[in-house]
A and B are shown apart, each in its own frame.
Chain A
Amino acid sequence: MLSGILVLYVYLTLFLTGGISVYGVVAKRNIVKKIIALTIFNDAVNTIAIFIGYRLIPRPLPPIMPTIYPNRQVYSAFISSSVDPLPQALVITAIVIGVAVTCFLAFLAIRLYDRFGTTDYQEIKRLVRGGKR
């Protein structure tokens, strides 16, 4: 019962964080804050992935086979109580990709500040649009 509420709470928090960070990416005017909001969104999604791997097991164990020569019983105990390792593998890949995107965006933010002298997205948009379409 308690663990059920806790799991619900964790998922709710993560989805709320994700939602707020999406709002941050769209609504924040500062280009660096937009990038920070994007990394928060990435992290929220990655944490959701880890939690999906826990599969609502009451007492999860690490996915390591306890014996070298397992029989049917060991297998079924292993399957019913171990954490799914695949989402963690997905998360590692997603983190690496996220780093690449964040790096690129940070580089762009530096160049933008260099060229426009401001970090305000709306101001940059105004300067670009200025005059001709």
Chain B
Amino acid sequence: MIPAVDPLLGLVVLVLALGGFTTPLVSRLSRNRYAVRTYPLIYCAASLVMTSLIMEHVWVAGQPVVYLLGGWRPPVGILYIADGLSALLGVVTSLVMLLIMIYSTGYIEGSGREYTYYSLMLLLEAGMLGCIYTGDVFHLFVMLEVTSLSAYALVAYIRDKREALYASYKYAIYGGLATTVYFLAVLFIYGGVGTLTIGDIHLRMAAYMSRYARPVFLCGLVFTILSFTAFLYKAAIFPLHFWLPDAHPEAPSPVSAALSGLVVNIGVYGIVRFAYTIFHGLPDPGLYSLSLMITGGLGCLSSLVGAVLMTTYRDVKRIIASSTIMNIGFVMMGYSTGSPLGIAASTFHLVNHSFAKSLAFLSSGLLIKSAGSRVLERLRGLGRALRYAGIPFAISLLSLAGVPLFNVFVSEYLLAASFIYTGKWVFLCFFMTSYIISTIVYLRIFYEVCIKIPVASAAHRSCRGWIAVAGVLVVLSLICIITGILSGYIIGRIIMPASQSLYTNTEYLEIVKEYLLSMH
């Protein structure tokens, strides 16, 4: 198999990093305050074009596309590789980030520090795309740190707010611990099998298992536990979810959208990539079944904990943020069934959750800004007063609640079907319980905010760039509705190829093997 090389894989991360580092410079050099708002948009649009081209290349080639960083071959150099799943997540990430950035131009308050916001957002996107496209466990560590550090700083963007500082500190100190634990996991696998490339780790583990079954298994076990600890923290799965209800709501609303809709995906992606590409298909299936057991069990608990947390808060952003814990729990449960249907359903749910959750945060941001409070009672009937924010908010709530015709309903239906199909009745019990609890909470918010008559006429605070803001909300609402209506087409054309490339890792491994052989 001849590898398809695509230099855009390496370029997109570098271009975004360049944008991130030059944004402060542009804001310093130009007197025009519109320059700092529009300059980062160029990079976001460019990244969307590039990730779309990568996805098209993956489709046309019918196999994973690769790029060697600096021309060094895999076991020595860093390999960038995009299969169907990474290409899909790359496009989703850059599309949602572009919409969030357009929204930010009308939402983020000035005060002369705006450039730090845009710079950090670009670096966040660079880190996420690096995590998604890399095929090297140590490079994943570096990119994870780029993502995390930008996320910590963005949580504390409003640096005079006490809650934001506390949330950022909590997120950062345990996040620093989690990423260092991941570094320890990388060291274990390097000491054990002597390579850092993801495909090569699989090949070498498979080769060594025939002779040294016990030591390789132990090394893999330690690697699994340590690396999953870090990813579970990033994905906010149950025992390590404690930072999320503080960190996500305290950030400005566009940042909440990026954190809740996209950054948690990175943790999920890491777990899935390791479980399916490294451990799937080894001679000893112990590690594979163990990793699926961890993700499935914790996913169940996580969904229930997220749903229960949703009922305990009165703060709208906290409720929406807690539902992230639940939805990521659903995604983990679907991936842990190990069946093609479960993987496809989870991938679809991950994508749908990104769109619906970012829409929920972006539209609620406008309502909260107008009301001056995040408490549910203060937002009563505000959706009727501010229609251009209220209607998208209603759409996002109905979508997240799993109302038919919206996108999340389809993926949740498929998830339930996959649990029944694989006979995971425990999963189905947890799933249905959390689903019912969350639907009640969502519909309550929907009733309070969008149906009830407002008690007092809300003080209309007009938004600066409301055309950009409203445009973004309309686009995201349309995505939610159209994905729901055309779900059959989208699953068949986009989701199935992506999940297929994850389920059968032979193509991925063939490509890596090609490079390893050609070195000798």
**A binding-site residues for B, Cβ under 8 Å:** 18, 22, 25, 31, 34-35, 38, 41-42, 45, 48-49, 52, 86-87, 90, 93-94, 97-98, 100-101, 104-105, 108-109, 111-112, 115-116, 124-125, 127-128, 132-133
Query: For B153, what are the chain A residues with a Cβ–Cβ distance below 8 Å?
Result: 104
Q: Are B156 and A127 in contact (CB under 8 A)?
A: no
Q: Mark B337-349, 1 if CB is under 8 A from A, else 0.
A: 0000000000000
Distance between B161 CB and nearest chain A CB, rounded to angstroms: 9
Closest residue on chain B to residue A94 by CB atoms: B183
Contacts known (A87-B190, A133-B314); A115 close to B165, Cβ less than 8 A: yes
Contacts known (A38-B176, A45-B180, A105-B176); A112 close to B169, Cβ less than 8 A: yes
Distance between B507 CB and nearest chain A CB, rounded to angstroms: 28
Distance between B242 CB and nearest chain A CB, rounded to angstroms: 11
Query: For B162, what are the chain A residues with a Cβ–Cβ distance below 8 Å?
Result: 115-116, 127-128
Q: Which of the listed residues B145, B156, B166, B172 has the most CB atoms from chain A within 10 Å of its own CB?
A: B166
8 contacts between A and B (CB under 8 A): A25-B174, A38-B177, A41-B177, A45-B183, A97-B142, A108-B172, A133-B314, A133-B318
Q: Mark B181-221, 1 if CB is under 8 A from A, else 0.
A: 00110110011000000000000000000000000000000
Query: For A108, what are the chain B residues with a Cβ–Cβ distance below 8 Å?
Result: 156, 165, 168-169, 172
Give the CA-CA distance A127 to B138 in the complex, in Å.
Answer: 39
Query: For B166, what are the chain A residues with a Cβ–Cβ distance below 8 Å?
Result: 112, 124-125, 128
Query: For A94, what are the chain B residues with a Cβ–Cβ distance below 8 Å?
Result: 141, 180, 183
Contacts known (A105-B173, A108-B165, A112-B169); A100 close to B149, Cβ less than 8 A: yes
Q: Are B375 and A48 in contact (CB under 8 A)?
A: no
Closest residue on chain A to residue B175 by CB atoms: A101
Contacts known (A22-B177, A104-B152); A49 close to B169, Cβ less than 8 A: no
**A111: contacting residue among B165, B184, B190, B318, CB under 8 A:** B165
**B184: contacting residue among A35, A48, A125, CB under 8 A:** A48
**B149: contacting residue among A34, A104, A127, A133, CB under 8 A:** A104
Q: Is the contact region of chain B dominated by helix, strand, or loop, or is it mixed? A: helix
Distance between A29 CB and nearest chain B CB, rounded to angstroms: 13
Q: B510 in the interface, Cβ–Cβ < 8 Å?
A: no
Q: Mark B283-318, 1 if CB is under 8 A from A, else 0.
A: 000000000000000000000000000001111001
Distance between B146 CB and nearest chain A CB, rounded to angstroms: 9
Query: For B180, what are the chain A residues with a Cβ–Cβ distance below 8 Å?
Result: 38, 41-42, 45, 94, 98
Distance between B208 CB and nearest chain A CB, rounded to angstroms: 16
Closest residue on chain B to residue A15 by CB atoms: B184
**B binding-site residues for A, Cβ under 8 Å:** 138, 141-142, 145, 149, 152-153, 156, 159-160, 162-163, 165-166, 168-169, 172-174, 176-177, 179-180, 183-184, 186-187, 190-191, 312-315, 318, 375
Closest residue on chain A to residue B159 by CB atoms: A111
Contacts known (A25-B177, A104-B149); A109 close to B169, Cβ less than 8 A: yes
Closest residue on chain A to residue B148 by CB atoms: A101
Give the CA-CA distance A124 to B145 in the complex, in Å.
Answer: 26
Give the CA-CA distance A25 to B181 in the complex, in Å.
Answer: 13
Query: For A111, what are the chain B residues with a Cβ–Cβ distance below 8 Å?
Result: 156, 159, 165
Give the CA-CA distance A100 to B150 in the complex, in Å.
Answer: 11
Give the CA-CA distance A31 to B312 in the complex, in Å.
Answer: 28
Query: For A100, what are the chain B residues with a Cβ–Cβ distance below 8 Å?
Result: 145, 149
Distance between B137 CB and nearest chain A CB, rounded to angstroms: 10
Distance between A85 CB and nearest chain B CB, rounded to angstroms: 11
Give the CA-CA distance A133 to B163 in the complex, in Å.
Answer: 11
**B138: contacting residue among A35, A90, A115, A124, CB under 8 A:** A90
